[in-house]
Structure formats: structure tokens, C-alpha cells
Amino acid sequence: MASTQPRLQTCPNCHAAIAPRARACSVCKLEVAQMGAFARAKLAARQKGLGTTKIESDRVPYWKMVLRPIVIVPAIIVCGLVLYFTRPTPPPAWESLPPTQMEAARQVLADISTGKDEGYDKAYALIAPSAKDSKDSDDIGKYRQLFHVMNNYLSSEFGSDWMTITTLEAEKGDADLIAAHIGPETLHLRAQQQTPAEKLKERGSHYAIEGVDEFNIADAADLQKMAGITGVLRGEAGQGAVNNLQTILSAGGGNRHESPMHRKLRILPNLRNPRSVVRRTVLQAWPLRKDPVIRARLEQIATDGRYPVDVKDTAEQVLKNNVPDEDLIAAGVE
């Protein structure tokens, strides 16, 4: 038998049970007469909200598409500018230089002694800005050539490890000069203060090398030319042709403005070679007979049986300053 008990109604607002003859919800007080209309309105509002959400998730409004780059791009630019202008200021170049003259001289010689471009470039970084030519695009190339000549000379005379026998001392009478003793050779490096006067008390001393007295950067261009000639000659005709060229250059005599180091660089390669040295080259050493390196080489020639007798005798004559004037004139010695 079907039940005759009336079905309980629930409030569409708060879902509370409504008594059969009640006029309003006992919880939210919504009148029973208004519950039907309230339920229909609530259903319509829910359906409208779902539809709107679906449409908006499928399609971005045009105004939002336009607004995004207008806002984002300037924001990125502003952030970039802020980062650029608030970046840490790099320390000045002089702050990375050695704190003493002795250390500056030691570092530059150690870098040169590597015999490689990487070492030469490190040595170049220790050269004072006042000694560099900012208008010369090949300034570093000229210094590389100069450093190469220095290392080649010192390696040939004293071995590739010449830095291990190098000693440094301050030159008496010149506060900017450091004397580097490599065997019998002595080079003079000028090391000067680079810290600005107003920063000296706060930051301390920093030194760079102004130059090496015996190796002038002004001569680098000529050294580059000669290196190119010997390089091509060695590649085309071999080392024998280079030795012949060195013999010609050493015996031919230099110009009247030739520096002592230039004369040494010109004649020493030939003096070291018993097979190609000639008497005229030994006579070319006469103006440098008091130079410790030249004296050491002439003494070695005078006692070395590999050298021709006339060359040995001439070396002894030069050492004793007992060379006839006519022989010096004939050899082109001024």
C-alpha cells in the first residue's frame, strides 16, 4: 500500500527541511511561496556562470593580447636599465698591478721567459699605459716581437731556464730602476708608480714597467721585419741559408747609431757557431770588448778547438785590445 505521508520539501537556499504546513524556512527564513522563483533564478545564474567561464578559458580577449606586450616589454627594458646602472664598477686596471717595483720586474721577466704569446700578453699587461701607443692597432704585436727577441737572446746565451738564474736588485742612484742579472748579462727595467696620488694612501702602491733600457720598443718594427725575412728564408731554403744570412749581417757591420745591444744581437748568433764564424765578425765585437757577455764568448772562442785558428787568435787580440787600426777599419768598425 502506497504511503500517504506528504513528501518533505527542502529549502533551495540553505537545503534545510521544510515542515508540511510551514510558511518559511526555519533556518534562513526564506518564504515557501518564494522558494520556486528563488530556485529557478539560482539555476539560471549557475548556468550563466559556467558558460562564461568556458568561453573565457577558450579565447583571450583582444584587449588583453594588446596590453601584455605594452606592459611586459617596457618592464623588461626598465629592469635591464636598472641592472646596467646598478652593476658593480670594475676596479681600475692599476689595482691589479704588483705592489712593489721588484715584483713588477720579476713578473714581467717570468712571463717573457715562457717563450709563448700567452706569456708575452701577460707581460704586456704589466707595461705602463704611458709606454704603450693606443693609436697603434699592432702595439701588442710589436711588444710580442720585442719580448720574443729578449727571450731568444737570453735562452741562446744562458739556456731556456734563464729565469732560474736571474737575480734582481734596486739600482743605486735611480729610484725607478731595477737591475736584472742573468749570468754575466744585466738588464735594467724601469718600474714606476701607477696608483693615482689621491688614492695612494688608501689603496697603496702599484707598479708597472715603463720599459727595458737595453730593449727599446721603438726598434720593434725593424725586429719584426728581420723575423719575417729569416722565417721566410728558413721555410724556403732551410737553416743553412739563415746561418749564411747571419754571417753576412754580423760581418757587414752596423750603422753608426747602433746600440750595444743591437750589436750583440747581430754578432752573437754567428760567434756561437764555429762552422760559420769569420774573423771579421770577431773584429765587430771590438767596441763591446768590455761587455761581460761578449768577453765570456770571446774567451770561450779563444780556447775552443772547434773554431778556426785565425778566429781564435783574433778573439784573443780583441780581448787584449791589441788589434791594429787597419784591421778595425777593414772590418768596418767605427
DSSP per-residue string spanning 12-31: TTT--EE-TT-SB-TTT--B
Closest CA to 149 of 187, 175, 179, 176: 187
Query: What pLDDT sits at residue 311?
Result: 95
What is the pTM assigned to this prediction? Answer: 0.66
How far is the C-alpha of 290 from the C-alpha of 302, rounded, in Å?
16
Closest CA to 82 of 74, 70, 92: 74
For the segment 303-326, what is each residue's pLDDT rounded down to a tens digit? 999 999 999 999 999 999 999 999
CA distance to 5, 6, 15, 30, 271, per residue, from 2 (Å): 9, 11, 26, 31, 136
Residues 6 or more apart whose CB falls under 8 angstroms from that of 316 comprise 298, 302
How far is the C-alpha of 180 from the C-alpha of 102, rounded, in Å?
10
Q: Is 34 helix (H, G, I), strand (E, B) or coil?
A: helix
For the segment 153-198, what is each residue's pLDDT rounded down to a tens digit? 999 999 999 999 999 999 988 999 999 999 999 999 999 999 998 9
Query: What pLDDT sits at residue 24?
Result: 84
Query: Can you give the C-alpha Rg of the chain in angstroms?
Result: 45
Neighbours of 222 (CB within 10 A): 11
Closest CA to 267 of 231, 305, 315: 315
Query: What pLDDT sits at residue 259?
Result: 83
Task: Enter the DSSP assignment of 71.
Answer: H
CA distance to 59, 152, 217, 223, 315, per residue, from 147 (Å): 71, 8, 10, 11, 30
Place of cell 704603450: 132
How far is the C-alpha of 57 from the C-alpha of 110, rounded, in Å?
70
Place of cell 780556447: 303
Closest CA to 192 of 133, 248, 127: 127
Listed as ranges, residues in the chain with pLDDT below 50 are 1, 51-57, 226-251
C-alpha cell at 158: 744562458
How far is the C-alpha of 330 from the C-alpha of 325, rounded, in Å?
9
Query: What pLDDT sits at residue 326?
Result: 92
Task: Provide the sign of the torsion angle of the four alpha carbons 163, 274, 225, 230, taken in this order.
Answer: negative
How far is the C-alpha of 246 from the C-alpha of 84, rounded, in Å?
57
Query: What pLDDT sits at residue 244?
Result: 45
